[in-house]
Amino acid sequence: MARVLSLFRPQPFLALVGRKKLTLCKMSMDSRARQVFAAAVEAVQPDAVVRQSIERKEDSVIINGQKFTLKHNLHLVGFGKAVLGMAAEAERILGDHIVDGVISVPHGIQQTLRQHGKDHLLLKENSRIKVMEGAKHNLPDADAQRAAEGIKQLACGLTEKDLLLVLISGGGSALLPAPISPISLQEKLDVTRKLAGAGATIQELNTVRRALSFLKGGGLAHYAHPAQVVALILSDVIGDPLDLIASGPTVRSEVWPEEVLSLLEQYKLLNSLPASVKEVLGRPGPRWKENKDETDKADSVLNVVIGSNTVALQCAGRRVRELGFRPVVLSPGVCGDVRSVSRLYGLLARFACSREEPPPEIAAEVLKLGPEVGVESWDLCRTMQVLDEGRTEGWGATCLLAGGEPTVELTGKGRGGRNQELALRVGLELRGMQLPPNGPVFLSGGTDGQDGPTEAAGAVTDGGLYEEAQAQGLDVNNFLTNNDSYTFFSRLSAGKRLLVPGLTCTNVMDVHMLLIPPIPINIR
């Protein structure tokens, strides 16, 4: 295995645990994993991330080190699943200067928050911000389109004296559908669905979406000019690319029709395009013409990512230390097929839990998997270095943390999402290893609280999963073939392994963790 300098300094295990050791060690590995997941979700609550990113000083506000003057000149728009809570906190901090606002949020979200006692994520009764619900089933619809038109209308009326605060979170693209006339919403949806079905990448899909929309790809910032625009973004995309989150309505990303036509031709979709789409793409030049005074427009737009998977993992790491584990963050960008991702975690578990020098084949296979799972070789080498030092120098318990968004190849019609299937597959990878508290525990959970069309966010597993399933007459392979991980975990020991956090009000992709107990080693 390649040797690299560790980014962590060894610390005595007892120093990490402190006086709480005796109490905490009575807590099961399963319970500690769930507490760490809860801490990750808590760190990226919509009101918390806004509160931490806005500093109010009398009649001014400081955001990302920049100071903006408040003179009853603040307008607010937003779109996304977590935006209602973000807007509620912005209203608490800046409400005395808010003139008006429009936010596009998921259908039924206000009633759901009330039912769950989340009133702190709701706007005041006399709020100047208009809440518009839409995008039922997370699909663009007429209600979301009306909200988008209201947001555009607000932006178009701004002057150089105004400040536009834009709140963006995951799901924002579906909540801001604004097809360029004469394209209908259904026609735009049909084009993007066909493109997705033909195997187009997310970058290619966004290229087409931007070309057919008047708000995406910097369109909102364009219409708000010459006002100062500040966008606060809760990211649900690996790497936090500003142009991909909600299709980048505040990020200048011009698309030329010729580029889109070439892309559609590549996927053999040109002949099936609606006449309206052909008309829009047949217009010369970019979507809009530059205004004479727009040369400095980039200086009047500030985009700030205030919440992400990285933030969630950092706070999870702090909770890990409190619970007696040493945190090691692998990557916030794990992706690729769950088969490869589960294999990676299985290999790392065996590497970390080996009582003797791990076979070099393990490290070689880990490094080979890197490109398939979106993790750099440097991060894999660093992680194995830390795990190896922890094992040989007796640091005690370790918690490997990672995040991202793996994918599942659908071969069946069962229920369950990527997190439950990943947990199930990792359970198989851990087969034959010791059971907790002497063996590893793995958790995978979606921070949005839902994993596929189920009430669960994910599941917790360990080396005893296969035998436990066998004893209860459950054929693991049949459930995997049918993509039916939720039914499997529901039946397995009355669902005790399912992760069901309830309404989380946020979304920064998934959190993975591998808890590794202290390993008694054979001294060489």
CATH number at residue 151: 3.40.50.10180
Q: Which two tokens stand for residue 226?
A: 């010459």
CATH number at residue 444: 3.40.1480.10
- Classify residue 252: in a domain, yes or no: yes
Angle, to 10 degrees, between the axis of helix 202-211 and the axis of helix 257-266?
Answer: 130
- Classify residue 12: in a domain, yes or no: no
Overall domain count for the chain: 2
3-state secondary structure of 326: strand
Instruction: Write down the pLDDT at residue 196.
Output: 83
Question: Among 246, 272, 307, where does a domain finish?
Answer: 307
What's the CA gap between 434 and 353, in Å, rounded? Answer: 9
In a shared domain, residues 113 and 225: yes
In a shared domain, residues 303 and 313: no
Indicate the pLDDT class of residue 27, thresholds 50, 70 and 90. confident
Is the pLDDT score of 323 beyond 90?
yes
In a shared domain, residues 185 and 159: yes
Instruction: Write down the pLDDT at residue 522.
Output: 61
- Classify residue 120: in a domain, yes or no: yes
**pLDDT 10s digits, 54-108:** 999 999 999 999 999 999 999 999 999 999 999 999 999 999 999 999 999 999 9
Is the pLDDT score of 461 beyond 90?
yes
Is the pLDDT score of 428 beyond 90?
yes
- Classify residue 19: in a domain, yes or no: no
Indicate the pLDDT class of residue 293, thresholds 50, 70 and 90. low
Question: Among 307, 341, 370, where does a domain finish?
Answer: 307
- Decide if 94 contacts 332 (C-beta within 8 A): no
- Decide if 333 contacts 376 (C-beta within 8 A): no
In a shared domain, residues 188 and 96: yes
In a shared domain, residues 400 and 489: yes
- DSSP secondary structure, 196-260, as one string: HHTT--HHHHHHHHHHTBSSTTTHHHHHHTTSEEEEEEE--STT--TTTGGG-TTS-----HHHH
- Classify residue 5: in a domain, yes or no: no
In a shared domain, residues 96 and 108: yes
Which domain covers residue 500, as residue numbers?
309-516
Instruction: Write down the pLDDT at residue 97.
Output: 98
Question: Which residue is it, tokens 């003057």?
Answer: 69
What's the CA gap between 133 and 114, in Å, rounded? Answer: 15
- Classify residue 28: in a domain, yes or no: no
In a shared domain, residues 65 and 158: yes
Strand partners, 304: 232
- Classify residue 248: in a domain, yes or no: yes
- Decide if 446 contacts 419 (C-beta within 8 A): yes
In a shared domain, residues 90 and 218: yes
Measured between alpha carbons, how far apart are the two ends of the chain, in Å?
19
**pLDDT 10s digits, 225-261:** 999 999 999 999 999 999 989 999 999 887 788 889 9
What's the CA gap between 401 and 317, in Å, rounded? Answer: 8
In a shared domain, residues 283 and 314: no
pLDDT, mean over the chain: 91
Instruction: Write down the pLDDT at residue 283.
Output: 86
189: amino acid identity, one letter: L
Instruction: Write down the pLDDT at residue 291.
Output: 53
**pLDDT 10s digits, 120-162:** 999 999 999 999 999 998 889 999 999 999 999 999 999 999 9
Is the pLDDT score of 475 beyond 60?
yes
**pLDDT 10s digits, 380-427:** 999 999 999 888 777 789 999 999 999 998 889 999 999 999 999 999
Instruction: Write down the pLDDT at residue 4.
Output: 36
3-state secondary structure of 50: helix
3-state class percentages of the chain: helix first, strand second, coil last, to nearest 5: 45, 20, 40
In a shared domain, residues 220 and 202: yes
Higher-scoring residue by pLDDT: 508, 258? 508
Is the pLDDT score of 46 beyond 60?
yes
In a shared domain, residues 195 and 208: yes
Instruction: Write down the pLDDT at residue 146.
Output: 98
Question: Residue 63's closest CA among 186, 228, 276?
Answer: 228
Question: Residue 277's closest CA among 301, 303, 257?
Answer: 257
- Classify residue 258: in a domain, yes or no: yes
Q: Going by C-beta distance under 8 Å and a sequence separation of 6 or more, which residues neighbour residue 436?
A: 28, 29, 30, 462, 517
In a shared domain, residues 432 and 350: yes
Question: Residue 405's closest CA among 490, 319, 306, 508?
Answer: 508
